Amino acid sequence: MTIHHADGPVRNRGRRAHRPDPDGGPVSAFAHALLVLKETAGDPSYDRMRTEFGAVASKSALAAAARGLQLPSWETTWEFVRPLAVTVLGEDEEQTRREWRARWTAARQDGGDGDGAAEPEGASRPGRHGWLLVAAVVVVVAAGVVVAVSWPRSGGGEPSLPIEGDASSLVADVTYPDGSRVPVNQRFVKTWRLRNAGTVAWHGRFLQRLPPLEGLDVCHTDPRVPLPDAEPGADVTVSVPVQARGTPGPCQVFWKMVDSGGRLYLPQSSGIYFLVEVTG
| pLDDT at residue 87, rounded to an integer | 85
Residue 137: pLDDT band (50, 70, 90) is: very low
Mean pLDDT calculated for residue range 43-64? 85
| Number of structural domains in the chain | 2
Do 45 and 150 fall within a single domain?
Answer: no
Residue 114: pLDDT band (50, 70, 90) is: very low
Structural domain of 74: 2-109
Mean pLDDT calculated for residue range 144-149? 34
Given a cut of 80, is residue 19 above it in pLDDT? yes
Higher pLDDT, 153 or 38: 38
**Percent of residues, the chain, with pLDDT higher than 70:** 74
Residue 52: pLDDT band (50, 70, 90) is: confident
Do 150 and 249 fall within a single domain?
Answer: yes
Do 142 and 271 fall within a single domain?
Answer: yes
Is 122 part of a structural domain of the chain?
no
Residue 270: pLDDT band (50, 70, 90) is: low
Do 93 and 162 fall within a single domain?
Answer: no
Q: How far apart are CA 36 and CA 246, in angstroms?
A: 37
Strand spans (E) along 81-215: 138-140, 145-147, 168-173, 180-183, 187-196, 205-209
| pLDDT at residue 145, rounded to an integer | 35
Is 173 part of a structural domain of the chain?
yes
Averaged confidence pLDDT in the chain: 76
Do 37 and 84 fall within a single domain?
Answer: yes
Do 6 and 71 fall within a single domain?
Answer: yes
| pLDDT at residue 59, rounded to an integer | 86
Coarse DSSP helix, strand, coil percentages of the chain, rounded to the nearest 5 percent: 20, 30, 50
Do 13 and 59 fall within a single domain?
Answer: yes
Q: How far apart are CA 27 and CA 111, in angstroms?
A: 8
Given a cut of 80, is residue 255 above it in pLDDT? yes
Q: Which of 37-41, 105-109, 212-216 has the lowest mean pLDDT?
A: 212-216
Is 81 part of a structural domain of the chain?
yes
| pLDDT at residue 194, rounded to an integer | 94
Higher pLDDT, 147 or 173: 173
Is 29 part of a structural domain of the chain?
yes
Do 70 and 27 fall within a single domain?
Answer: yes
Is 119 part of a structural domain of the chain?
no
CATH number of the domain encompassing residue 142: 2.60.40.10
Is 205 part of a structural domain of the chain?
yes
Do 184 and 254 fall within a single domain?
Answer: yes
Do 61 and 163 fall within a single domain?
Answer: no
Q: Which helix (H) or strand (E) holds 277?
A: strand 272-279
Is 123 part of a structural domain of the chain?
no
Q: How far apart are CA 85 and CA 93, in angstroms?
A: 8
pTM value?
A: 0.47
Residue 269: pLDDT band (50, 70, 90) is: low
Q: How far apart are CA 238 and CA 13, in angstroms?
A: 43
Is 272 part of a structural domain of the chain?
yes
Residue 13, SS3 per DSSP? coil
Q: Which of 106-110, 150-154, 165-169, 227-231 has the lowest mean pLDDT?
A: 150-154
Do 8 and 91 fall within a single domain?
Answer: yes
